[in-house]
Structure 1
Amino acid sequence: MSDPFERKIYEARLTPHRSMTPHAFYLFILIFCFGQLLFALPFFFMGAWPVAGFMGLDAVGLYLAFRVSFRAARSHETLDLTPLELVFAQIGARGQRKEWRFNPSWVRLEQTIHEEFGTERVALISRGECIEIGAFLGPDQKAELARELNRALIDARMGARFG
């Protein structure tokens, strides 16, 4: 039988939203480069070849910007809550990990709400330390996260359930 103190009450993996899949990205770049080529060829044949070169730089710049965006999308955050501990971890795009551990009885969830824009910030506060969670989420997602995590923290404070 599993230990009730090790049972996960809540767990979440928070990831930044990216609307473009890698396949759509390559298709977009292909179409963009083809369009750039169509516009660059007349300039090239008129002898204004530097214009064609700069149009090629636009395509390279766009490609690099998307690659950086896709790399940043590999970052994520995790929340694991048991009756004895809340573990919050931020994992960067290159795999570097920062981790905080809190006692569920002492940690406080702070939610900053703007009357027009909704939830702007969700943070864990304990012993004078304030850690923002899900900074990359939208207002509705932050509100849902705060609701779920607050409910889970209340369950954790009630203690482990035996049986």
Structure 2
Amino acid sequence: MDQGNSKVWQATLTPHRSLDRNGFYLLMGLVVLVNLVVAGVFVALGAWPIAGFAGLDVLLVWWAFRMNFADARKLERISITEHELLLERESDRHPPQQRRFVRRWVRVELEEDRERELIGRLLLVSGRTRVAVGEFLPPEERKTLAQALKSALAVPRI
């Protein structure tokens, strides 16, 4: 959260991914190696069609990681000025989106089940408009963000 500018409160949200590109290349190398060994064993036993299925495994793992890395490039930026709250979203799969809320009419809601200690969606609510933010964040980070947003909105002048 960046509070460097005294006129704007801002938070930039991005998903966390624990596997970087180098880790991905290492993992894919291991998957390819294991599949080559398995395919070689089956070809040696005369079951050559299995080799093609081993190649499909590699393709499926590669595709899953490609989707994962595309999701990692999501970005949500929340800016609160004296008069408005601005929500900007960027993603590889969708064009950039912008939502503006009148600051005095927006409120922050966190769906929470205290009995079972579950934290649900974080919503910006203005009238009948309900927009979920930070859906890719872990529950504790959504809770912290909700508190920070409520505090920033409570300050009469940013």
TM-score by length of structure 2 reads 0.90
Q: Is the 8 A contact 1:117 1:139 kept in 2?
A: no
- Partners of 2:11 and 2:91 in 1: how far apart? 16
Query: Corresponding residue for 2:144?
Result: 144
Give the secondary structure class of the aligned counterpart of 1:136: coil
Query: Corresponding residue for 2:23?
Result: 24
Matched, 1:55 2:81: no
TM-superposed CA distance for 1:145, in Å, is 0.3
Query: Corresponding residue for 1:88?
Result: 87
TM-superposed CA distance for 1:141, in Å, is 0.6
Q: Gaps spanning 5+ residues in structure 2: where?
A: 1-5
Give the secondary structure class of the aligned counterpart of 1:90: strand
Q: Aligned pairs, how many?
A: 152
- Partners of 1:103 and 1:159 in 2: how far apart? 14
Q: Is the 8 A contact 1:86 1:102 kept in 2?
A: yes
- Partners of 1:22 and 1:117 in 2: how far apart? 35
User: Aligned residues: percent identity?
Assistant: 34
TM-superposed CA distance for 1:95, in Å, is 5.7
Q: Gaps spanning 5+ residues in structure 1: where?
A: 1-5
Aligned AA (2:110)? Q
Higher RCO (C-alpha under 8 Å, 6+ residues apart): 1
Query: Corresponding residue for 2:103?
Result: 104
Q: Is the 8 A contact 1:118 1:140 kept in 2?
A: no
- Partners of 2:131 and 2:93 in 1: how far apart? 21
